Amino acid sequence: MIEKEVTVRNRAGIHARPAALIVQTASQYSSQIEFKKEHETINAKSIMGIITLGAGYNTSITISADGDDEEEAVDRLARLFENRFEEE
């Protein structure tokens, strides 16, 4: 299992569109992927779960993945955060 900490860089935070992007990306991997924000943990393949996190601007989130393709999965997801979900 690997983990990586990322920060929400886009002003609007994780609303519906970025959440869909995250879920679509995460669903391509077989690993169990989770997002942690403070003490909440949710499944990164659930769109409603990610939105419920309420991750606004500058929130830090820990991505964790467990499985055969865990490294690639975390990398790809972390890159989404760095690219501000292709917004702005």
Partner 1 sequence: MDKQFTVLDLLDLDLKEHNDLDLTCMAGRPGLLRPIVTPDLNRPGLALNGFFDNFGSDRVQIFGRGEHAFVEKLVAEQHLDNVEQLFGREIPACVFTHGLEAPEDFTRIAEASGCPVLQTPLATSEFVMRLIRALGNVFAARETIHATLVEVFGIGVLILGDSGVGKSETALELIERGHRLVADDAVEVRRVAGNILLGQGANPALGHHMEIRGLGIINITHLFGVGSIRDDKQIQLICQLEVWDAQKAYDRIGAEERKLDILGVGTPYLEIPVKPGRNIPIIIETAAMNERLKKMGYYSAREFNQNITRWLDSENARKAYLQKKGIT
**Active-site residues: which are they?**
15
Asked if residue 79 lies in contact with residue 5, where contact means CB atoms within 8 angstroms, the answer is no
Nearest CB to partner 1, comparing residues 56 and 83: 56
Smallest distance, Å, CB 43 to partner 1?
Answer: 14
DSSP H helices, the chain, are 16-26, 47-52, 70-82
42 near partner 1, rule: CB under 8 A: no
87 near partner 1, rule: CB under 8 A: no
Asked if residue 9 lies in contact with residue 82, where contact means CB atoms within 8 angstroms, the answer is yes
Distance of CA 23 to the CA centre of its chain: 8
12 near partner 1, rule: CB under 8 A: yes
24 near partner 1, rule: CB under 8 A: yes
Residue 11: CB atoms within 10 Å: 11
**Residue numbers at the binding site for partner 1 (CB under 8 A):** 12-17, 19-20, 23-24, 47, 51, 54-58
